[in-house]
Structure 1
Amino acid sequence: MIINCKVKSIDALASNTYKILLQPESTVTFKAGQYLMVVMGLKDKRPFSIANSPTRENEFELHIGASEHNAYAGEVVEKMRLALTTQESVEIDVPHGKASLQESERPLLLIAGGTGFSYVRSILDDVVANQWQQPTYLYWGAKDKSQLYAFDELVAIADGHDNIHFIPVVEHQDDNWQGKVGNVLQAVSQDFDTLEEFDIYLAGRFEMAGAAREQFVLNKQANAERMFADAYAFI
């Protein structure tokens, strides 16, 4: 469904990463873990995960990584900036995606790389808002701590909920880093003997999603039917 949105705000989250809040001009129903597409032209629609839960009514939060080498995302940020300045509307196509949060009592494993975090953030937001009680583990991988732009927020959420666990993983550590170092999929594999009972939600590049499915099903008894990622519709 194509709808018009006003750009409420644009804020920097980290280097070349922005939080954009959109206010739709009509009510839209979506599920945690779905995405929208920003309409750039007649045949040009660009997908971005919705970072908030549906319990936050009449708002879409996007996290867009737009480095100087990523014109695909950078052009979207510039479109949003212009719309914010002029107070003109932007068009979005929503909702999309079949990797949304499923009703379940199984423990949850949420895995993200980089700004793929916005996908699992929506799911975590919904888990908290609806007071789900099953164990929930969120693994977030990034190049360094500066890219973990919601670090303090996630620590606070985990501290306030006995069933929620936040495990950050960085590729490059500084002298003050106390967490895990390396690849986020390797960190998960090291921490769990089996993933047989888990519902697994994953956001990252296609090769990351493919590697996760192969490794976790083969080595950790994960159920491929209980692994969810937008990438799985294409690979």
Structure 2
Amino acid sequence: MSYKVQVEPSGHEFSVESGETILDAAIRQGINLPYGCRNGFCGDCLATLATGQVDYPNGIPPVMVDDQNGECYICQATPTTHVTIEVKEIAQSKDIPIRTMPCKIDRIERLNDDVIRLYLKLPEGERLQFLAGQYLNFVLQDGTKRAFSIANAPHDDDFIELHIRHVSGGLFTDVLFSGMEEKTIMRIEAPLGSYYLREESSKPIILMGGGTGFAPLKGIIEHAFQIGIQRPMHLYWGVRAKSDLYLPELPQQWASKYSNFTYTPVLSEPDAGWSGKTGWVHEAVIEDHPDLSGHEVYMSGPPPMIEAGKEAFLSHGLAGEELYSDSFEYGAAATKQKTGT
């Protein structure tokens, strides 16, 4: 048994399976409704129940006073009829409040010689709402901040996933790679940035990453798959050598599973026997797509790659408003600078 949920004033409609909460169904189908904890404690998911009826199988949410006044908490509510709710959807990054909160390093995975994958766990009952491609700041004890892109998609939010490259002489990454232990408590500020997937577009997507610039692209791609985007997506991942492709099987699996996805790795210092693309990654994009009019481009990685890509793509027909970038500043004391259109 399933029920329809109509969202006003947007007019969006989606289905909720039996026993599924309104919020879980919305996230599954790419409808960006507001939420905070997803456990009925914070009240951020409050909506007006305009028509229909809901139930709370897990008990009345702790923040709820009286749902008979036409209110419902969509993170806990399951429909028992077709319903209409009134709530403002998340359309832009500015619609999501920026929060500062503690988190725990749940686990650390070494992906290659100089990249780790960090999984962060928020306190019990907390969830971070964000758009695919955004980033967070670690707020250090002295008040300085270090920024890293979120590598998971919004629907997969049990943990926050980061891909972090070791910067020689960088105090923060030196500690992460040599002395940081699992279960360490950190403080983060999130979500941040205007670099995120524009879901309303119908244009083919080109994604270009350099090094750990793959991280936000991973979140964008997985979100696009989750919400059923069918327009063509072509990922170019530029690195020095084959070993720098630190999750080599993942984009290959995407390409095998999804007919609208294509993957091209590009090596600037190719290994012996490499038969794939070589050179600069933005040149590989131009070689395959000499006319970029009618495309969207998302690029993330070091500033020289971003600047070279911007100049090349605009000169090959890409409209400036269709170019979205996330520039990583690596350095001993640098935070990662973020740009986006």
TM-score (norm 1): 0.91
For residues 80-119 of structure 1, the aligned pairs below 5 Å read 81-82=180-181, 84=182, 87-103=183-199, 104-119=201-216
For residues 164-183 of structure 1, the aligned pairs below 5 Å read 164-183=261-280
Higher helix share: 1
Higher relative contact order structure (alpha carbons within 8 Å, sequence separation ≥ 6):
1
- The one-letter amino acid paired with 2:117 is K
C-alpha change, 1:88 and 1:204, in structure 2 (3 Å) is closer
8 Å Cα contact 2:204-2:233 kept in structure 1: yes
- The one-letter amino acid paired with 1:17 is V
Q: Distance in 2 between matches of 1:185 and 1:68?
A: 26
SS at match of 1:156: helix
SS at match of 2:107: strand
SS at match of 2:269: coil
The answer on 1:12 being equivalent to 2:118 is no
Gaps spanning 5+ residues in structure 2: where?
A: 1-98, 328-337
- In structure 1, the residue matched to 2:140 is 40
- In structure 2, the residue matched to 1:197 is 294
8 Å Cα contact 1:197-1:222 kept in structure 2: yes
SS at match of 2:119: strand
Shift of 1:41: 2.8
Of 257, 262, 266 in structure 2, the residue corresponding to residue 160 of structure 1 is: 257
Q: Distance in 2 between matches of 1:234 and 1:99?
A: 5
Q: Distance in 2 between matches of 1:69 and 1:91?
A: 22
- In structure 1, the residue matched to 2:71 is none
Shift of 1:39: 1.2
Equivalent residues, number: 230
- In structure 1, the residue matched to 2:67 is none
Gaps spanning 5+ residues in structure 1: where?
A: none
Shift of 1:187: 0.6
C-alpha change, 1:50 and 1:161, in structure 2 (3 Å) is same
C-alpha change, 1:88 and 1:72, in structure 2 (3 Å) is closer
The answer on 1:126 being equivalent to 2:228 is no
- The one-letter amino acid paired with 1:233 is T
Stretch of structure 1 that moved more, 54-63 or 70-79: 70-79
Q: Distance in 2 between matches of 1:133 and 1:175?
A: 37
8 Å Cα contact 1:8-1:23 kept in structure 2: yes
For residues 132-151 of structure 1, the aligned pairs below 5 Å read 132-151=229-248
Shift of 1:169: 0.2
Q: Distance in 2 between matches of 1:44 and 1:7?
A: 19
TM-score (norm 2): 0.64
C-alpha change, 1:234 and 1:149, in structure 2 (3 Å) is closer
Shift of 1:71: 3.5
Identity %: 30
8 Å Cα contact 2:195-2:339 kept in structure 1: no
SS at match of 2:223: helix
Q: Distance in 2 between matches of 1:211 and 1:45?
A: 28
C-alpha change, 1:171 and 1:230, in structure 2 (3 Å) is closer
Shift of 1:147: 0.6
8 Å Cα contact 1:28-1:58 kept in structure 2: no
The answer on 1:233 being equivalent to 2:331 is no
